[in-house]
Amino acid sequence: MVKVYYDADANLELLNGKKIAVLGYGSQGHAQAQSLKDSGLDVVVGLRKDSARWAKAEADGLQVAIVPEACAQADVIQILLPDEIQGRVYAEEIEPYLTEGKALMFSHGFNIHFGQIVPPKNVDVFLVAPKSPGHLVRRMYAEGKGVPGLVAVHQDYTGRAKDIALAYAKGIGCTKAGVFETSFKEETETDLFGEQAVLCGGVSELIKAGFDTLVEAGYAPEMAYFECLHELKLIVDLIYEGGLSRMRYSVSNTAEYGDYMIGPRIITEETRQEMRYVLQEIQDGTFARNWMLENQVKGPQFNAIRKMEQEHQIEEVGAELRRMMPWLKK
């Protein structure tokens, strides 16, 4: 069984007298920095000079500095920058200040696992990853609760890496819900697989394939949008709250029968085999190499596909229909 840590397993005092640099003030950065500060810890937010978020972080009561200055002051450096730029920022603005005994940390293992960042041997390296988007991390903390998280140690120089990681997890509320022990390899590979095969890649293609099939057969795009995209939220909410069983309990018996009979004809053995290949390409570094190379040449394929996808008919119909839904945020 996987080990789970709670409040009683974590000692916040390990971070007393230490300075924590939270680099980035985006989804995770703003949530983690504010919660650490509210836990009584000494936090500096590291940003670039021209960041639009600088004033925001200061307005939230945080000390802000440019990345190298934040790293020079800090004992613990949490990198919450976009994954694809971490390697470059690390080499130029973090590594020079990563002196003996400091801790380098992450909320995603990509750069360590795939060797884009190779820290010196004389520092601790670990990750604390909330299993939720930043705004929910912050909201749960503010309500005196927390979201579940992951903890993993890559390098334990001080002999206290895991204890410091757990103290940090406590500082953002995660030990209230439970913190699961994992490794950089497991966190990185399962995260990439989940977003590619199921959450982002799988779901997007499934929606488009359903939509295209109905539209090709002459049905109204509006109807296709409602059936194949809009209603997904209802289904996902039910699954999220009570698993597949809750969803199947809630839908009609006709829908449930269709689910059992037809689902396996959509996700076929061939699809499952392809998922195994996708996992292999994550494990052997093929995906990471492609993504890093794509970034090195400034993302021509990424940008072209992004544009094409934004112009798909489902996006045009959807924009029209969502205007009729006053409860949606602009």
Map residue 174 onto helix, strand or coil: helix
Q: Which stretch binds ligand NDP (CB under 6 A): 5-13, 81-89, 219-227, 316-324?
A: 81-89
Contact string (CB under 5 A) for Mg ion, positions 172-211, x = contact: -------------------x---x----------------
Other CB atoms within 10 A of residue 84 CB: 17
Is 168 annotated as contributing to ligand binding? no
Residue 49: strand, helix, or coil:
coil
d(CA 107, CA 33): 13
One of 40, 133, 243, 285 touching ligand NDP (CB under 6 A):
133
Nearer to ligand NDP, 292 or 321 (CB): 292
- The region of 44-52, 97-105, 230-238, 264-272 touching ligand NDP under the rule CB under 6 A is 44-52
Out of 87, 119, 134, 318, which residue is the one contacting ligand NDP (CB under 6 A)?
A: 134
| Three-state DSSP class for residue 1 | coil
What is the DSSP-derived secondary structure letter of residue 194? Answer: I
d(CA 149, CA 232): 26
Active site residue 312: no
| H or E, element range at 33 | helix 27-38
Binding mask 6-25 for ligand NDP (x = CB under 6 A): ------------------xx
Return the number of other C-beta atoms located less than 10 Å from residue 180's C-beta. Answer: 18
Give yes or no for residue 149 binding ligand NDP (CB under 6 A): no
CB-nearest residue to ligand NDP: 26
User: Strands 76-79, 19-23: parallel, antiparallel or unpaired by DSSP?
Assistant: parallel
C-alpha distance across the termini of the chain, in Å = 44
By CB under 6 A, residue 29 contacts ligand NDP: yes
- Pick the closer one to Mg ion by CB: 26 or 61: 26
Residue 146 CB partners (closer than 8 Å, separation 6+) = 140, 172, 173, 174, 175, 176, 177
Which range of residues in 76-84, 169-177, 209-217, 279-287 is near ligand NDP by CB under 6 A? 76-84
Give the phi and the psi of residue 203 in degrees, each rounded to 5. -65, -45
Q: Is 252 annotated as a binding residue?
A: yes
Q: Which one of 4, 6, 38, 48 is in contact with ligand NDP (CB under 6 A)?
A: 48
Residue 174 Cβ, how far from ligand NDP at the closest point, in Å? 11
Q: Provide, rounded to whole angstroms, the least separation between the CB of residue 311 and ligand NDP.
A: 24
Cβ 84 vs Cβ 114: under 8 Å: no
State how beta strands 4-5 and 179-181 pair: antiparallel
The owner of tokens 């399962």 is 190
Q: Which is nearer to ligand NDP, 65 or 224 (CB)?
A: 65
Q: Which of 51, 190, 196, 204 binds ligand NDP (CB under 6 A)?
A: 51
CB 282 within 8 A of CB 193: yes
Q: Does 194 bind ligand NDP (CB under 6 A)?
A: no
Residue 52 interacts with ligand NDP (CB under 6 A): yes or no: yes
Three-state DSSP state, 150:
strand
User: Quick one: what does residue 115 bind among ligand NDP, Mg ion, none, with the CB cut-off 5 to 8 Å set by partner type?
Assistant: none
Within 10 angstroms of residue 174's Cβ, the number of other Cβ atoms is 33
* Shortest Å, Cβ 25 to ligand NDP: 4
Nearest partner of 209 among 284, 300, 276, 271, judged by Cα: 271
- Residues annotated as catalytic (active site), given as ranges: 108
Residues that bind ligand NDP (CB under 6 A): 24-29, 47-48, 51-53, 67, 80-83, 85, 89, 107-108, 129-130, 133-134
**Would you list which residues are annotated within the binding site for NADP(+)?**
25-28, 48, 51, 134
Q: Which parts are annotated binding residues?
A: 25-28, 48, 51, 134, 191, 195, 227, 231, 252
